[in-house]
């Protein structure tokens, strides 16, 4: 499942969604089978906790199965699932309350997927950046992390995010701004010290 699904994949998913809406359980199972890794990835990025992510995946598909009749079909199924997953993860994270220390080792095992033709140095640099980004995202407070993940990784609009999180659009924008700023500080704090510039007080007015 991707935001930009290939036409054939999209048609196939649309057919499965249509059948599932008629109550075809095997069709829904096939939808789950095709999309659960993507849903899990989003859930893990949002919760930064494997057990929670698994719960979020199960709960999200339950909600999807129950709410399939409300899926209008004018949006992509993947986007609809992102929204359900975001909503569910937000609930889980709020329920969890206390911040747990997370191990990122499991998250960083996979090789980085890069565009074909990328030079080795560039690939290594990108791999290092992606690793730092993953770590940085997990260090963000959940309220800020969810905004950065949904907007900058998954490309949801401010409006979609605000709806799913039950916050206003301006609040979503402010949190996104803070999240990006915090992430930038985590990634480039040392570099900017060399600039002799940023002392981390940009957002004093935020």
Partner 1 sequence: MQCDDVAKLLPSAVEHGAAVELSVQRHIESCLRCQAELARYRRMLRGLQLLRTRYLEPSPGLLAQTFAAIEEAGERKAVHSILSGRRLAYVGAIGGAAVAATAAATTAMLVARSRRRGVPVAG
Residues lying near partner 1 in the complex (CB under 8 A) are found at 2-3, 25, 28-29, 32-33, 36-38, 40-41, 44-45, 50, 53-54, 57-59, 61-62, 65-66, 106-107, 110, 112-114, 126, 129-130, 133-134, 137, 148, 152-155, 177, 180, 183-184, 187-188, 191-192, 195, 197-198, 202-203, 205-206
> Which residue lies nearer to partner 1 by CB, 107 or 165?
107
Cβ(130)–Cβ(112) below 8 Å: yes
CB of residue 45 to partner 1, shortest distance in Å: 7
CB of residue 132 to partner 1, shortest distance in Å: 8
> Which residue lies nearer to partner 1 by CB, 163 or 198?
198
CB of residue 57 to partner 1, shortest distance in Å: 6
- Listed in sequence order, the residues at least 6 apart from 22 whose beta carbon sits closer than 8 Å to its beta carbon are none
> Which residue lies nearer to partner 1 by CB, 92 or 137?
137
């Amino acid at each position: 499942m991707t935001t930009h699904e290939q036409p054939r994949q999209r048609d196939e998913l649309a057919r499965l969604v249509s059948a599932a809406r008629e109550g075809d359980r095997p069709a829904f199972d096939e939808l789950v089978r095709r999309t659960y890794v993507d849903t899990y990835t989003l859930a893990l990025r949002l919760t930064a906790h494997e057990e929670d992510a698994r719960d979020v995946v199960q709960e999200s598909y339950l909600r999807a199965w129950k709410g399939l009749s409300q899926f209008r079909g004018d949006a992509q199924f993947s986007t609809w699932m992102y929204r359900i997953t975001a909503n569910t993860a937000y609930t889980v994270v709020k329920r969890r309350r206390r911040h747990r220390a997370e191990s990122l080792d499991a998250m960083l095992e996979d090789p980085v997927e890069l565009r074909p033709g990328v030079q080795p140095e560039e690939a290594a640099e990108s791999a290092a950046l992606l690793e730092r980004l993953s770590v940085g995202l997990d260090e963000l407070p959940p309220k800020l992390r969810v905004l950065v993940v949904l907007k900058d990784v998954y490309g949801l609009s401010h409006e979609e995010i605000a709806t799913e999180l039950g916050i206003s659009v301006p609040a979503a924008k402010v949190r996104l701004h803070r999240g990006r700023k915090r992430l930038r500080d985590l990634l480039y704090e040392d570099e900017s010290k060399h600039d002799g510039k940023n002392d981390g007080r940009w957002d004093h007015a935020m």
